Chains A and B, each alone.
Chain A
Amino acid sequence: MSKRFLSGNEAFAEGIRLAKPDVISAYPITPQTIVVERLSEMVEDGSLQSEFIHVESEHSALSCAIGASAAGARAFTATSSQGLLYMAECLYYASGGRFPIVMMNADRSTALPWNIYGDQRDSLSQLDSGWIQAYAENAQESLDLALMSYRIAEHPDVSTPFMVNLDGFVLTHTYETVEIPESEQAARFLPAYETENRVDFENPKNLAFSAGPDHNYIFKYKAHRGLLAAADVIAETEREFAEIFGRKYSGLIEQYRTEDADLILITLGSIAGLCRESADRMRMQGIRAGVIRIRYMRPFPNAEIAEALRNAKAFAVLEKDISFGNEGTVFTNVNSALQKAGLNIPGQNYIGGLGGRNISAGNIEAIFRGLVSGAPRVSFIGIGGDGSGE
């Protein structure tokens, strides 16, 4: 185990080096570029034995990864923002074909107005594409997810592609000290990819075929079942990860001081650290505050969130997303989890960080105070309730 000072992108690239994909196909886009640059350097210096394929677009990047996966190879790609949207068609081919590709997405704002900074509207718009979606908080978790993602995606019960999301710039470009596992440990943790779902000259197959109205729905159901099965596989994978590497993760959500909390702030990604600090400050003022960080948006942690909120008096969802005409998508998902659990807890939705706008500690404390006073249901930080400017 060695320690290095790395950005989120670089840490992810180190994780991919340990996962040893056979094929990497990617097209550069800010703020993802550095993960691809580092991987190309590793291939160049021989420390990573991968076929690095330069493609002409994101649509081709994922198409190429699908082709590689259909040949039985372990495949990696990475993108961001408009690039993710450009490859959206292929996201569905990958998940419908049950190809366990791993992709890093640097969460970034979507045009227009054009903007390269971080928010989560790109990946959250693709929640229905049939991919596992994880959101990392820091560089170490990014590296660890790079390694864990293949094991989860390739598990025979899952066979589902995996998107790991890193907040653009705030996570992809900031530096932290990161522990890098030894390659022998990684090899022990992550076995070679074996599948029947591939081109095989000895045993010819139809691959990626069509299915009409009589059978199509069964394939969709099985893909859904595969994604649901990921929840148990994630837990099992994290247990083994902790045994080998010594770092523990907490499954689909991470909780902070929620056991006795009256007010719980739910968020995802790199802003969670500031939320935890704010919760500590609220507690110093006598307000029992807690934080839930959603680590996985798909499969969605319905039961986990409901259980964590069960005794709360109110909750807020802070997200870097807005589903125009409704509310933040994470808020919609959380409310559904509560409804299914028979819980009626007042909740508020704060939309922040769009286009990379800073979310301050003061903003987060105002969210906790809004839960006491009963602020509007949907608020844009910096504007106000329902975005009306009031």
Chain B
Amino acid sequence: MKPYLREKTAFSFDEVPENTSFEAGYLVSVNSGWRSIRPVIDAAKCIGCEQCYLYCPDGVISVRDGKAEIDYDFCKGCGICAKICKIGAIRMEAERG
């Protein structure tokens, strides 16, 4: 299951749950602000082997239509996916701005 961001991020007191349990996959804020480099997938090279999906420590890679995709809202830019990719389909690029 991929995590997803709710559009609404301001909550009233009563909308915050009583305890720390809530529907799965729900996240309230983008969590990638300190990323200095980002993985970029070359879709032409990607063979959908799922190695990057298996190794990603933050679970932000999914495979759709045989190609890997990265959720940049939660990717921390660690670069493990680029290291593990045997065919060199992932390169790390500097974040700008």
Given A214-B9, A215-B11, A218-B13, answer yes or no on A206-B19 (Cβ-Cβ < 8 Å). no
Residues of A within 8 A of B1 (CB): 204
- Chain B 10-36, CB-CB to A under 8 Å as 1, else 0, gives 010100101111111110110000000
Q: With A198-B21, A208-B20 known to touch, is A214 a contact of B26 (CB < 8 Å)?
A: no
Q: Quick one: given A214-B9, A215-B28, A218-B13, are A209 and B22 in contact (CB under 8 Å)?
A: yes
Given contacts A214-B9, A215-B11, A218-B13, A206 and B18 within 8 Å (CB-CB): no
Interface residue total, chain B, C-beta cutoff 8 A: 16
Whether the Cβ atoms of B20 and A96 lie closer than 8 Å is yes
Residues of B within 8 A of A208 (CB): 20-21
How distant is A67 from chain B, measured CB to nearest CB, in Å?
Answer: 14
Point out the residues of chain A lying under 8 angstroms from B20, CB to CB. Answer: 96-98, 197, 206-209, 211, 219
Chain A residues contacting B21 (CB-CB under 8 Å) are 196-198, 205-209
Nearest-neighbor residue (CB-CB) of A226 within chain B: B18
Looking across the interface, which residue of chain B has its beta carbon closest to that of A217? B16
Give min CB distance, B8 to chain A, whole Å: 12
A-B contact count (CB 8 A): 55
Q: Smallest distance from the beta carbon of B11 to chain A beta carbons, Å?
A: 7
Shortest C-beta distance, A90 to chain B (Å), equals: 14
> Would you call B18 and A222 a contact (CB within 8 A)?
yes
The distance in angstroms between the C-alpha atoms of A197 and B18, with both chains bound, is: 9
Complex alpha-carbon distance, A208 and B9, angstroms: 19
Which of A206, A207, A219, A226 is within 8 Å of B25, CB to CB? A206
A215 to B11 CA separation, bound complex (whole angstroms):
8
B19 / chain A contacts, CB cutoff of 8 Å: 97-98, 159, 197, 222
Contact partner, A206, options B11, B13, B16, B26, Cβ 8 Å: B26
B22 in contact with A205 (CB, 8 Å): yes
**9 residue pairs, one from A and one from B, having the closest CB atoms:** A98-B19, A204-B24, A218-B16, A197-B19, A197-B21, A207-B21, A205-B21, A208-B20, A97-B20
